[in-house]
Amino acid sequence: MPITTASYKITWEKLPDDFPLADEPVENIDQPLLAGALSESLEQAGQLREDVLIGTNYGVCATLDGKMVVKAPDWMYVPHIWVSREEIRRSYTPQLQGQVPVVVMEFLSETEGGEYSIKPTYPPGKWFFYEQVLQVPQYVIFDPQEGVLEVYQLDDSGRYDLQQPNANNHYEIEALGLLLGVWQGTKGNRTGYWLRWWDESGQILPWGVESVEQERQRAEALRAQLRAAGIEPEV
């Protein structure tokens, strides 16, 4: 995708306490569900250390030529922060408060949100901000209505290049050591397309309710084995 770069002086400053943040509802009720499901399976897998930051519709800041820019990706993963969580309650400034996000995600909705915007002039578009300002290694765009997933990788020239999936239609998310793909089914009261994590062996990372069900099935199988051996299992 062609892009025109603008010459900015980029600094990393904390969001002023009186800086007005957009106080608008999310564009689609699916967005918090999709984001929460991604985070939940990582937590179940023990992937969330204390110094990891996951943000959902949460402001990421940079200052361009003295003007503050705040973008709020639908989901992001920061592998290491070096400040207390109290200091990042309203927003997060990479380089100042921790590392740059290694992956950001945007979920498409019926409202045009500029996920593909390469607008370089102030205020810059999302694509330009993630690619040219933050230089986030991987940018994910997901259409939950159609189940279409696009994963872009920052190449050696500093531009996003569309990745190709593996044979299982999964994409490698390098910094997490996991694969990302689309799964269709039901969680809670939502049925549709979801983003899910798989490990390198191809095993899906379960949600909490799935872990409980797997444990129930294992316990039931063990009881059946004991009964077959003439041993009455303890209740």
Over residues 112-139, the pLDDT tens digits come to 678 999 999 999 999 999 999 999 999 9
Both 140 and 164 in a single domain? yes
Both 113 and 127 in a single domain? yes
Both 200 and 212 in a single domain? no
Establish if 17 belongs to a structural domain: yes
Both 141 and 96 in a single domain? yes
What's the domain range around 168? Answer: 10-204
Both 172 and 217 in a single domain? no
Establish if 76 belongs to a structural domain: yes
Q: Does the predicted TM-score (pTM) go above 0.85?
A: yes
Both 25 and 54 in a single domain? yes
Establish if 34 belongs to a structural domain: yes
Establish if 2 belongs to a structural domain: no
* Residue indicated by tokens 């949460």: 58
DSSP labels, 209-234: HHHHHHHHHHHHHHHHHHHHTT----
**8 Å CB contact between 118 and 127:** yes
Backbone angles phi, psi at 224, to 5 degrees: -65, -40
Both 43 and 131 in a single domain? yes
Establish if 4 belongs to a structural domain: no
Establish if 3 belongs to a structural domain: no
Nearest CA to 58 out of 74, 69, 37, 35 is that of 74
pLDDT band at 37 (very low <50, low <70, confident <90, very high): very high
Both 114 and 14 in a single domain? yes
Both 180 and 79 in a single domain? yes
Establish if 235 belongs to a structural domain: yes
Please report, for the domain that includes residue 156, its CATH number.
3.90.1570
Establish if 1 belongs to a structural domain: no
**8 Å CB contact between 168 and 202:** yes
pLDDT tens-digit map of 170-225: 999 999 999 999 999 999 899 999 999 999 999 999 997 766 666 666 767 666 67
Statement: residue 153 has pLDDT above 80: yes
Arithmetic mean of pLDDT, 17-28: 70
What distance in Å separates the CA atoms of residue 27 and residue 24, rounded to the nearest whole number? 8
Both 41 and 153 in a single domain? yes
Both 66 and 159 in a single domain? yes
Question: For the chain, how many structural domains are there in total?
Answer: 2
Both 135 and 224 in a single domain? no
